[in-house]
């Protein structure tokens, strides 16, 4: 897809979502924000996965972002939406750039386990801090927007619009990243680390970049989630939360930057209805879906879209075109 088309699609989708926001019922507004917030985290997970790296501890940054927002309000007296989200961004950037120095040396299962250990340590520390409400966490007041104090409904709506814009920006930047040499270097790294090294680039550099991107998107997602939930707790750093993010990343697929958003929406849909259908046995449904996806849709739901698109395209032109396409159309395994 040419660059221009993509830009137009992104802008149109963001505007559409914002417009729809005016007629959504309350629960759907909230659900959409939390889908966007989680999807932001999953974008990072997917970016790492495209480099062949799976983080079982992305909850760490999700939690850091949320606590940055919470503590910023509680102790620094920052109340503005933008200020708080900026704080989340900085927190993710700083912690990610420090821990990234350590994590960039690890691969595969060791990366997964080490990231898990780090997030569990944060969970432990927060669970010990009674000042911050221990495992019960604490409540966050609704933010002001550009200095204005709004009613709860309006504040929610403002957060909604902000979430749409933020997601649009992240998708746009993410797509640029994936198409850049550094983005391709990630794929290259997953395919063949030896070759990357012999092309004169340190694999650590590539992983570090991915790690930074992932920690920033995760902390932004965490910050957004904190603002919309109004309450945060250490369980955001618990390993099962990170497991959920990976689940969603697989569900959506990693072949496109927007796939995590579709994945998260589908995941929330499945989870909600599984909970309603079988309050005692919804985990069976989730487990079966997970295995089903891995067996039958190894490239995630997004592969349905792209194969559909392929079909349409080949139907139009009669035969698959041989011209070099700029679109990166491929699955992840």
Partner 1 sequence: MNPILEVKNLTKNFGAVVAAGDINVDIYENEIIAVIGSNGAGKTTFVNMVTGYLKPSSGKILFEDADITAYPPRKVTRAGICRSFQIAQLFPELSVLENMMIAFSLTASRWPSVLQPLRNNKTAENSFTVLKNFNIDMYANDPVASLAQGVRKLLDIAMAMVSKPSLLLLDEPTSGVAIEEKFELMDTVMNGVLQSGASTMFIEHDMDIVERYANRVIAFYEGRIIADGPTAEVLQEPTVKEFIVGEDIAHQEGGGLNA
Partner 2 sequence: MSLSIKATRFCKHMVVSLTLSTICVAVNAASDDPLKLGLVSFYSGGASGPVGIPSRNGADVIIKAINEGTLPGSYSNSGKGAGGRPVAPVYSDEAVDSAARVTEYRNLVQRQGVDAVIGYASSGSCLAITPVAEELKTLTLLYYCGSTRIFEEGARKYVFRTMASQDVENIAAARYITSLNPKLKSISGMNQNYAWGQDSWRDFKESLDQIKPAVSVKTKQFPKIFAGQYGAELTALARSGADVVHSSFWGGDMEALILQGAPRGVFDDQTLLLTTGGTAFYSLADQIPEGTVIGARGQGDMFAPESELNTWFRNAYKKAYGENPTFPAYYMAQSVLALKAAADKAAKAKGGAPAMDEVRAAMKGIEYASPAGTIKMARANGHQAITGVGYGTFTLVDGKPSLKNVRRYSAECVNPPAGTSSSDWIKSGFLGAQCKQ
Partner 3 sequence: MTLLLAILIDGLIYASWLFIVAAGLTLVYGVMRILNMAHGSFYAIGAYAAASAVGWYFTLGLPAWGAFAILLLAAISAGVVAGLVVERGILRILHGRDEVIMVLVTYGILLIFEDLIKLIWGIQAYYAYQPYGMLGRSKIGGLTFVNYDLILIVVAALIAGALWFGLNRTRKGKLLRAVIHDRESAELVGINVKRLFITTFAIGAGLGALAGGLAAPAIAVNPGLGIEVIVLAFAVVVTGGLGSIEGALVGAILIGLARAAAVNLLPEIELFVIYGVMTCVLIFRPHGLFALPTARRI
Q: What's the closest the beta carbon of residue 34 comes to partner 2, in angstroms? A: 6
Tokens of 253: 């697929």
Instruction: Work out the burial of residue 56: count CB atoms within 10 Å of its CB; fewer than 13 is exposed, 13-18 middle, 19 or more buried.
Output: buried
Q: Among 225, 279, 307, 293, which residue's Cα sits nearest to residue 34?
A: 225
- If one asks whether residue 217 binds partner 2 (CB under 8 A), the answer comes out as no
**Partner whose footprint covers residue 231, from partner 3, partner 2, partner 1, none (CB < 5 to 8 Å by kind):** partner 2
Closest separation in Å from C-beta 201 to partner 1:
5
What is the DSSP code (8-state) at residue 231?
Answer: E
CA distances to 18, 306, 320 from 328, rounded to whole Å, are 28, 11, 15
Give which of partner 2, partner 3, partner 1, none residue 310 binds (C-beta under 5 to 8 Å, depending on kind): none
Question: Which residues, including other chains, have CB under 8 Å from residue 257's CB and lie 6 or more apart?
Answer: 43, 46, 171, 174, 175, 178
Q: What is the CA radius of gyration of the chain?
A: 20
Contact characters 144-183, partner 1, x per CB under 8 A: -----------------------------x--xx-xxxxx
What does the block give as tokens for 314? 């080949």
SS3 192: coil
Residues in 280-309 at the binding interface with partner 3, rule: CB under 8 A: 280-284, 286-291, 294-295, 298
Taking contact as CB under 8 A, which single stretch among the options 44-52, 92-100, 225-233, 255-263 is the one that binds partner 2? 225-233
Binding to partner 3 by residue 113, rule CB under 8 A?
A: yes
Identify which of residues 16 and 117 has a Cβ nearer to partner 3 in the complex.
117
Which positions touch partner 1 (CB under 8 A)? 3, 173, 176-177, 179-185, 187-188, 191-192, 194-202, 205-206, 209, 322-324, 326, 330
């Amino acid at each position: 897809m040419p660059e221009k088309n993509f830009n137009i699609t992104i802008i149109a989708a963001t505007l559409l979502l914002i417009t729809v926001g005016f007629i959504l019922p309350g629960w759907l507004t909230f659900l959409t924000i939390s889908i966007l917030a989680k999807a932001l985290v999953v974008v990072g997970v997917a970016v790492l996965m495209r480099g062949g790296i799976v983080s079982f501890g992305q909850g760490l940054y999700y939690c850091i972002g949320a606590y940055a927002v919470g503590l910023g309000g509680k102790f620094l007296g920052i109340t503005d939406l933008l200020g708080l989200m900026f704080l989340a961004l900085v927190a993710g950037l700083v912690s990610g750039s420090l821990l990234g120095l350590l994590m960039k040396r690890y691969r595969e299962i060791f990366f997964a386990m080490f990231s898990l250990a780090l997030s569990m340590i944060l969970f432990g520390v927060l669970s010990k801090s009674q000042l911050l409400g221990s495992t019960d966490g604490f409540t966050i007041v609704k933010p002001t927007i550009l200095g204005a104090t709004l009613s709860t409904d309006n504040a929610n709506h403002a957060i909604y619009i902000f979430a749409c814009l933020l997601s649009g920006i992240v998708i746009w930047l993410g797509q640029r990243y994936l198409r850049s040499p550094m983005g391709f270097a990630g794929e290259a790294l997953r395919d063949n680390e030896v070759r990357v090294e012999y092309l004169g680039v340190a694999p650590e550099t590539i992983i570090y970049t991915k790690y930074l991107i992932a920690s920033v998107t995760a902390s932004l997602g965490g910050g957004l989630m904190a603002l919309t939930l109004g309450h945060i707790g250490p369980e955001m750093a618990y390993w099962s939360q990170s497991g959920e993010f990976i689940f969603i990343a697989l569900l959506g697929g990693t072949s496109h930057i927007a796939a995590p958003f579709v994945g998260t929406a589908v995941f929330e849909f499945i989870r909600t209805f599984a909970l309603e259908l079988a309050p005692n046995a919804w985990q069976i449904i989730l487990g079966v879906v997970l295995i089903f996806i891995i067996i039958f849709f190894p490239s995630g739901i997004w592969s349905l879209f792209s194969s559909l698109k392929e079909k349409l395209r080949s139907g139009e032109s009669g035969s698959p075109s041989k011209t070099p396409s700029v679109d990166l159309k491929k699955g992840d395994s």
